[in-house]
Amino acid sequence: MPSDEPQTPKFYLTTPIYYVNARPHIGHAYTTIVADVLARRHRLQGDETFFLTGTDEHGQKIERSAAAAGVPPQQFTDEVSAQFRGLWDRMGLTYDRYIRTTDPAHKQGAQQLFRELYNRGFIYLSTYTGSYCVSDEAFVDLPAGTPCPDCGRTLETVTEENFFFKLSEFQKQLIELIEPRNSGSKPDLDITPDTARNEVLSFLMGSTEVLIAMGPQAFGVETLEGIRQTTLWELAESKDLVRRSREGLPYVVGALRDLSVSRSSFTWGIPVPSDVQEASGTTQNHVIYVWLDALANYMTAIGYGSDDPEKQAELQRYWPADLHLVGKEITRFHCVYWPAFLLAAGLPTPKQITANGWLLFDNAKMSKSRGNVVRTETILDAFGDHVYGKQFPDSTKQERDLFAADVLRYFLLREIPFGQDGSFSFDALVTRYNADLANGYGNLVSRTLKMIATYFDGVVPECSNRLDLADFKPQVLHLSPEEEARRAEEEASYPEPATGVQDDVRNALTYELRQIGYQITQADRYISELQTWKIAKLDNELSRTKLADTLYYAVDSVRYLTGELYPYLPYATARVWSQLGLGDIHEAAKLGKLAKLDENGMTSGTRLNVASLAPIFPRADKGLAQIMIDMEDARNPPSAPASSDPGAAPRTSTSDPVTENATTLTVGGSSAQTPTLPVTPGPHTEAQASGVYAATEIVQPSTPAAAPTEDSPTITIDDFLKVELRVAEILVAERIPKADKLLRLEVDLGTERRQILSGIAQYYSPEELIGRRIVVVSNLAPRKMRGLDSHGMLLAASEGPDGKPILATFGEDIALGSRVR
Ligand code: MSP
């Protein structure tokens, strides 16, 4: 029986579950910290909050990492998962449940979801043709007829059964779930920031490029050349190639394809339930596609698939999730696949999905594959031991960790406008710490409390309200002209607030901490302007009252700001709260006192905890940044220095398949202008002469790339330098309908974003390309293919008789736009 009692609002938020193929780094910590801040804010507001995090432990990648480490996958995942959890505990993160996809309850739940989708008719068994090594019983992503990379036997063409999910049936429903409402109300699934929502929408809607690629016949015209974009869409609509969503968004019918949701070429995964396998008549053993397995965690963690009534009640209470926090690279999985699975299973979809940007190090996304990671432990150890430990030699390791965790929390949230990429550097960390925490908040607290200790014996004075100090309230900003100018400058460098629907997450994470910063500056200035130390020297009634009023306002500001800062700096604010004589801040938070900071001012007569007055944020020495750099280097000895420094000594990469049979690639940062090369039909002889050829817009596997021969014509260095090769990152990769060989790529060249069409669709899937750093022939004249502009070519080696392209990549971290020569 539902009760009439109004229920406490609930808030269920999740982080992505982290792959256990690598140790945690501060990129992972970033998302988890953001979740922790939001969880604490919601608890403050009295919401029944549930914060979930955990690890993603299945799939080929993990299986391989375990094999490389020489341990069984379960043991491997046990170890790495424990490292993640141990780190979150060191940092005092307040997750409510830690899920592992190897948990039996999760496996059961994921199987239940798969079964449900199958029983409802949204999963079917189908086949696709691929290359197979019979000896190894393995599918290989190489053309049939070529040697197997493992055993050398010739690959055969076989047909593999696969379970597919009918994603294509959900195109309209998904668009309508997330599209902006003309009424201005929130969509059922609110994707923020706008950039993330637009990216997902355009994926779902299909693009002009997709229409063009259908060719003129589909439109019943001779040619599409010269047709304006709007006309093209209208024409498409008249041919029923384009339809409209409820709010009027046009979408290309069929732009969404079905999705393979099982694999049978490896075993480290959750088996497709045996009843489904039987019912489908499959003869293979399938494991559930790792993303379906992983996404299901958000429900299995709170009881989906369990028979336990308590668990079921929890599921009822918390599902749908109020917020999935995700990195921007995994929005498609969360905003397209996940809601589609849920719609198909007849389950409610999450309410909000918010994408955070990336933490960059040396201008590239911090990630294991790039090797440019910064470990959270380094920051915890350095700040814990060299700053806190130095000030408080008797402190415990736990106190040091929690102190240092606050430093990292503050830095990440203050420095990076939420939703955007942000660069991490040790120098910036130390500078921000000293400026905002040691000199800012920490200094405000200690000077205020010291003055009360000195002039009022540590007791909060009475406030006569005779001074007109109303402006002293931090809630009302009255910045001085210089402060205002600084603030305006800073605001201008931040992105505009999200348009349309109000986004609480973004407000919380982007504006609040900045606002608190201005409030601290203002409070500090008031104390200085009132020249308390001078008033204190005057021995008369008026000056005594003035001093009392000033310090009352000052200490009340400290109380107010401390309450506001609590979700961001839980350890430091707890110390301040205690110094203020207010007891345990965590208790105050639970009692809802921190949600009403305006209502209850500091009570006069409160005795400060004078015995505990000690610096909250001791200053960090300048050398701390170097200490951290050295710590990182010691843990991770640098191999050959990756550099985009033009003066750096050229390095030889011996493991790169491209360089093995080619001239050495050296990496430099020259930005010298080079001419645009005309596109000449036929093979690209300059590059081929060295065994490297550009995977042109269309690779012709039937025309094997020329191997270097004795009589290849030699070229001069000047000839070679005419070809401008640059490092780029693949941002977008997608298939082009009705063009089997072509992929449409968008690449970031550091200074510009380009579209390149590349004939590698038979060899690379779009998913495996995104995020790769590759080499682009950047001064190739643009050309049109299938009506689409292609500007540049990818560099690839050509392997085997069919000329399979292998993209040239880097073993080291490399800045975008670096010149390759
Ligand atoms: N296992 C999947 C997620 C499955 S969720 C059902 C996965 N794992 S991951 O470990 O590769 O990354 C997970 C998340 O870690 C990212 O989405 C992002 O939130 C965070 N980050 C990892 N590297 C990061 C940066 N360099 N910067 C910011 N966040 C980063 O994808």
Query: Minimal CA–CA distance to 324: which of 700, 13, 752?
Result: 13
How distant is the alpha carbon of residue 747 from its chain centre? 19
Query: Is residue 267 within 8 Å of residue 287, measured between CB atoms?
Result: yes
3-state secondary structure of 168: helix
- Taking the chain (821 residues) in consecutive chunks of 10 residues, what is each chunk's mean pLDDT? 70 97 93 96 95 95 88 96 98 98 98 98 86 61 80 74 93 97 92 91 91 91 90 94 96 91 89 96 91 97 97 97 95 96 98 93 79 92 97 97 98 89 93 96 96 95 78 80 85 61 69 91 87 81 87 95 97 98 96 89 93 93 94 68 30 25 23 31 26 24 30 63 84 78 84 84 80 86 78 83 78 77 81
Residue 10: enclosing H or E segment and its boundaries? Answer: strand 10-14
Q: Which residues are CB-neighbours of 30 under 8 A, at least 6 positions away?
A: 356, 359, 412, 416
Closest Cα to residue 388, out of 375, 372, 399, 378?
Answer: 399
| Nearest residue to 264 (alpha-carbon basis) of 168, 130, 459 | 130
The 10 Å Cβ neighbour count of residue 816 is: 17
pTM score: 0.76
Closest residue to atom 10 of ligand 1, CA basis: 18
Look-up of token digits 């709170």: 302
Residue 387 DSSP symbol: I
For residue 329, the CA-to-ligand 1 centroid distance in Å is: 8
Mutate to test the pocket of ligand 1, among 28, 362, 408 (most ligand atoms within 8 A of CB): 28
CA 226 – CA 216 distance, rounded (Å) = 12
What pLDDT, on a 0 to 100 scale, did the predictor assign at position 675?
Answer: 33
As for ligand 1, residues whose beta carbon falls within 6 Å of it are 16-19, 27-28, 30-31, 56, 294-295, 297, 326-327, 330, 356, 358-359, 365-367
Cβ atoms of residues 395 and 589 within 8 Å = no
Residue 728 CA to ligand 1 centre (angstroms): 21
Instruction: Please give the Cα distance from 190 to 339 (Å, whole number).
Output: 12
Q: Tokens representing 205?
A: 């809607």
pLDDT score of 740: 78
CB 627 within 8 A of CB 382: yes
Closest C-alpha residue for ligand 1 atom 15: 28
Q: What is the position in ligand 1's atom list of the atom closest to the CA of 338?
A: 6
Query: What pLDDT does 132 receive?
Result: 64
pLDDT of residue 624: 97
- Residue with CA at minimum distance from ligand 1 atom 19: 327
Q: How far is CA 705 from the centre of its chain?
A: 39
CA–CA distance, 729 with 752 (Å, rounded to integer):
11
Q: Rounded to the nearest whole angstrom, what is the distance from the C-alpha of residue 354 to the centroid of ligand 1?
A: 13
Given this model, what pLDDT does residue 196 score? 92
Q: Compute, in angstroms, the gap from residue 17 CA to the centroid of ligand 1.
A: 8
Spacing, Cα 64 to ligand 1 middle (Å): 19
* Residue 428 backbone dihedrals phi, psi, to 5 degrees: -60, -35
Give the residue, out of 26, 291, 323, 330, with the most ligand 1 atoms within 8 A of its beta carbon, to mutate for a pocket test.
Answer: 330
Gap between the Cα atoms of 238 and 234, Å rounded = 6
What are the CA-CA distances from residue 646 to residues 354, 405, 639, 673 (Å)?
39, 37, 19, 15
* Cα-to-chain-centroid distance, residue 759: 30
- Which region holds residue 24: left if phi is over 0, alpha if psi is between -120 and 50, else beta? beta
Distance (Å, rounded) from C-alpha 267 to C-alpha 261? 14
30 C-alpha to ligand 1 centroid (Å): 10
